[in-house]
Amino acid sequence: MMNDELAKEKAQVVRRLLQHEGRVMLCLDATCQGVEVPRRFSSDPGLMLVINVNMPQPIEIGPAAIESELRFGGMPHYCIIPYHALWSAFNPDSGHGVLWQESIPHIIRQHHGAYPTGPLKPLPDDDNWPETGKEQEAVAAQPDERSGVPTLKVIEGNGDPQPPEHTPGRSRPKLRVVK
């Protein structure tokens, strides 16, 4: 299994990218135990999901996993991404991110080589982050209650995965036939 230090590093990378750039592409092995995504994606070792600070629902960056309600084809699904399934996190616009070589699934390595997401720029120090991310940092640090911009929720704990307290649910959209 994954050591606690690597899990903390992955959580910190995701948190810093969201705080400074507002958007993160998560590359994960959806076949790993504990991953919760829609069934049609559960066999994908190279699933890529985007999270950003402008999503209307909270993003929980916990000690064992990232959790949030994401939309797939307009339908909400509560997703759990354990850190042992996460093999890269980056911003596709800036190229800042991290690729954890030891976490890349074997099948991805076979098909794409050592660097399947291409070369990534190292994360800058917090004080030296490029100005392009400063606007998003202000949004993430001081959310406007009226705009509905969520805050990042840091969950402290001992690293043991906990089931979500509740699964956010929305009523199913009402469809009507228009003739």
Residue 136 within a domain: yes
Residue 35 within a domain: yes
pLDDT at 38: 97
Domain that holds residue 76: 4-154
pLDDT at 123: 78
What total number of domains does the chain contain?
A: 1
Residue 137 within a domain: yes
| pTM of the complete model | 0.69
CA dist 33 and 115 (Å) reads 24
Residue 162 within a domain: no
pLDDT band at 150, cuts 50/70/90?
A: very low
CA dist 89 and 81 (Å) reads 12
Q: What is the pLDDT of residues 3-57, one digit of tens each?
A: 889 999 999 999 999 999 999 999 999 999 999 999 999 999 999 999 999 999 9
* Residue 164 structure tokens: 């979500």
* Placement of tokens 């997401």 in the chain: 117
CATH number at residue 54: 2.30.30.220
Residues with Cβ within 8 Å of 137's Cβ and at least 6 positions away in sequence, in order, are 19, 20, 22, 129
Q: What is the pLDDT of residues 60-118, one digit of tens each?
A: 999 999 999 999 999 999 999 999 999 999 998 888 999 998 899 988 888 776 655 55
Q: Are 22 and 54 in contact (CB under 8 A)?
A: yes
171 pairs with which residues across the strands?
none
Q: Are 22 and 53 in contact (CB under 8 A)?
A: yes
Residue 164 within a domain: no
Half-sphere exposure of 172 (CA within 13 A, CB side): 2
Residue 54 within a domain: yes
Residue 142 within a domain: yes
Q: Is the pLDDT of residue 163 over 60?
A: no
pLDDT at 58: 93
